[in-house]
Amino acid sequence: MQTSRVSRRSFLELGLKTLAGGLAMTTLQVSGPAFAAAGDSSSTFPRGNRFQVGEFLKFRRYRDAAGRIQVTRDYLPDAWFEALGLVPVDVVYQSRFLAGSDAAATLDADRLQRLAAAAKPGRLVSLDAEAWDTAWAHPARPTANGKSIVQNLVDVVRTFKQANPGIQVGLYSEVPPNTYGFNATTQARFDPLTPQYAAVAAEVDYYSPSLYNYHIEGSQAGDAQWAQFAGYAIRACERLDSLNHTRKPILPYVTPAWKDSAGAARYLTQEQMHFRLATLRQLGAAGCILWLSDAAKEPDSDEPLALDPTTGWLRAAVEFAKEP
């Protein structure tokens, strides 16, 4: 397979229609007043009823329409994804706004306010604040920094919103709390906890439960297990809405990656990814956020992954994003 290296500028000059195999520029829409435009931006999520496919995919390699691997100096630019109909989402990791990374971590309000002020108008922001997750089962109990997990999360979102109220912001996997899959004990363990996170749910503009393939293999049985997992998470979001008398969009995180019984990294097929997105739409989600570690490798290889919009899971996401 031929590999070439191109700069960011020359990459853009290649023409996005070549990369996308002739796919037309597509603008995604999302339902719900929380997604009203907050300024002019090509990444703004317009209002409407179409299921949106957002992404946070930080890769430097892709396959062009001829099947050749191209390598960019920087991460693939937003325009590459936008040409495919995918909408970039800004994921902000806790190392950028917390002092510390464990339950004793504290909010650095100044840093978070600067990040909020610099956020792109119209771009969704997703804050990753997992430092206090060891306390998920005790929402009212003080963590090592003296505040409960609920108080800490409320402070994070409120601080961001106060600095830039026009930006739509959510939390990765905190409301509802991450169940890491679904089994016979999930409801009994998590149903009593959901109402205790209502204060956090009241602060975010949209919900982002994590629906990664936790202990789920790429098989029909795995698909069915994942669908149960997704159904429970969506219902938990709706329950929080009921408690707060709100109706907020649900944008779960999904990933194409899974591990087989030997621990080898695998990826969902085109059909499996389409099943997940169709399931979310049927359950009432407004869309999703695609995420995959930038350390991902090519199947059965040590080579960094090359994104390929013409086949597999990414093709499914592109095709789904274009559906009316």
pLDDT digits (tens, 9 = 90+) for 124-148: 999 999 999 999 999 999 999 999 9
Residue 221 lies in a domain: yes
Residue for token digits 């297990």?
Answer: 225
Residue 96 lies in a domain: no
- pLDDT score for 263: 83
Burial per residue of 282-310, b for 16 or more beta-carbon CB atoms within 10 angstroms, e otherwise:
ebebbbbbbbbeeebeeeeeeeebbbbbe
- Determine how many CB atoms are found less than 10 A away from the CB of residue 192: 10
| pLDDT of 11 over the 80 cut | no
Residue 108 lies in a domain: no
Give CA–CA dist 285/321, Å, rounded: 14
The mean per-residue pLDDT over the stretch 268-283 comes to 97
- pLDDT score for 213: 96
Residue for token digits 């100044």?
Answer: 110
Q: Who has greater pLDDT, 281 or 6?
A: 281
**Domain total of the chain:** 1
Please give the structure tokens belonging to residue 230: 């997704």
Per-residue confidence at 304, pLDDT binned at 50, 70, 90?
very high
pTM confidence score? 0.86
SS3 at position 284: coil
CB 142 within 8 A of CB 122: no
294 half-sphere exposure, CB direction, 13 A CA radius: 10
Q: Which residues pair with 212 in a beta bridge?
A: none
How high is the mean pLDDT of the chain?
87
Residue 138 lies in a domain: no
Q: Who has greater pLDDT, 20 or 248?
A: 248
pLDDT digits (tens, 9 = 90+) for 15-38: 333 233 333 322 222 233 233 332
- Determine how many CB atoms are found less than 10 A away from the CB of residue 182: 22
- pLDDT score for 50: 87
Residue 154 lies in a domain: no
Residue 157 lies in a domain: no
| pLDDT of 270 over the 50 cut | yes
Q: Who has greater pLDDT, 94 or 259?
A: 94
Residue 99 lies in a domain: no
Give CA–CA dist 61/306, Å, rounded: 4
Q: Who has greater pLDDT, 13 or 304?
A: 304
Most trustworthy range by pLDDT among 3-7, 40-44, 208-212: 208-212
Q: Who has greater pLDDT, 121 or 13?
A: 121
Residue 68 lies in a domain: yes
- pLDDT score for 192: 97
- pLDDT score for 284: 97
Q: Who has greater pLDDT, 307 or 42?
A: 307
| pLDDT of 6 over the 60 cut | no
* Cα 317 from chain centre: 13
| pLDDT of 13 over the 80 cut | no
Q: Domain limits at 21?
A: 3-88+173-322
| pLDDT of 42 over the 60 cut | no
| pLDDT of 205 over the 90 cut | yes
Per-residue confidence at 48, pLDDT binned at 50, 70, 90?
low
SS3 at position 285: coil
- Determine how many CB atoms are found less than 10 A away from the CB of residue 68: 13
